[in-house]
Amino acid sequence: MIKLLVLLFIFVSVYAQETIFKLPDNHSRFLHQLDRSFKTASQILIITPSLHHSDLSKKLLSAIKKGTTVTLTVQETKGDPLSLIQYKNIELYLSEVKLDQTLILVDDSLVCTSDGTINEELFRSAHSVIRCSDNPNKIRSIRNASYPFIQHARPYLE
């Protein structure tokens, strides 16, 4: 019994910091997780091929109004990115590098990754997986890996 508890403790301590959201079933749970993180965030970084999600855009707007700085790097500016650019604390960048995955980084407290784009219709109908983690080592490594995308992106308003 003690051996099993030790094994369980090791398993929980290693994997307890990652949450996997299977869409479309966990769509609302994922948005709730982001909403909780956005409320206390000072900086949000989103790197995605395109952003077409009205609920997520509303949550970003409420975070921006509270003073959160949002950096958005996209390939396609149609839709939500252009509606968000009018606000003070948002920086929109265009990526010339082909993006296949989505990255959402909230301060140094949460990182979420997904294959594909942020699209409300796809999130509600297609099966996909979003991984969110609050592991500081994973956040640091993903932040360091995202620097080349940020450096090669050009500001939308030059």
Q: What does the pLDDT read at residue 149? A: 83
Least confident of 10-14, 73-77, 93-97: 10-14
| DSSP collapsed to 3 states, 35-50 | HHHHHCCCEEEEEECC
Q: Considering just the CA atoms, what is the radius of gyration of the chain in Å?
A: 17
pLDDT digit string (tens) for 55-66?
Answer: 999 999 999 999
Q: What does the pLDDT read at residue 4? A: 47
The closest alpha carbon to 122, from 52, 46, 73, belongs to: 52
Q: What does the pLDDT read at residue 49? A: 92
Judge whether residue 80 has pLDDT over 80.
Answer: no
Judge whether residue 152 has pLDDT over 90.
Answer: no
Mean pLDDT confidence for 104-125: 90
Judge whether residue 22 has pLDDT over 70.
Answer: yes
Q: Does domain 16-155 have CATH number 3.30.870.10?
A: yes
* Alpha carbons 78 and 48: distance in angstroms, whole number: 13
Judge whether residue 72 has pLDDT over 90.
Answer: yes
- pTM of the predicted protein model: 0.86
Judge whether residue 83 has pLDDT over 80.
Answer: no
